[in-house]
Amino acid sequence: MRLRSGHVRLPGAWDAFLQEFDALLTAPVWLHCLGGFVLTAVYGMPRPTGDLDCIAIMARQEPSEILALAGQGSPLHRKHHLHLQYVTVADVPENYESRLKAVLPRRF
């Protein structure tokens, strides 16, 4: 849900999940996200989801290392019943990067 100040209020248990995920990281990670999580968090649409779909994971670590921390079957997934999902096949517009928006800047 979007707050009047422009900040995003994360739905359900996502805040706790992302805080714990952030605490496990040893270096910055950027996720290019799409799907139900984005529709709910950014646009306030009532679309419950248990995964955060990422079409790009930029980090010093390999995506497999990031997914070991927060992907399906990870300890965070078992605890929160939420997980990161690395989407390797998706139709996105050419130059989609130019349309990216920071959803949670400096928060995690």
| Distance of alpha carbon 42 from alpha carbon 2, whole angstroms | 6
If you average pLDDT over residues 63-80, what whole number do you get? 95
* Amino acid at position 97, single letter: E
Tell the burial category of 5 from Cβ atoms under 10 Å away from its Cβ (0-12, 13-18, 19+): exposed
pLDDT at 84: 95
| pTM score of the predicted model | 0.82
The closest of 15, 10, 26, 31 to 85, measured between CA atoms, is 31
Mean pLDDT over the full length of the chain: 84
Domain boundaries, the chain: 14-88
Contact between 32 and 55 under an 8 Å Cβ cutoff? The reply is: yes
Partners of residue 54 on adjacent β-strands: 33, 86
* Amino acid at position 44, single letter: G
Token readout for 72 is 């399906």
The closest of 90, 25, 86, 85 to 59, measured between CA atoms, is 25
If you average pLDDT over residues 55-80, what whole number do you get? 93
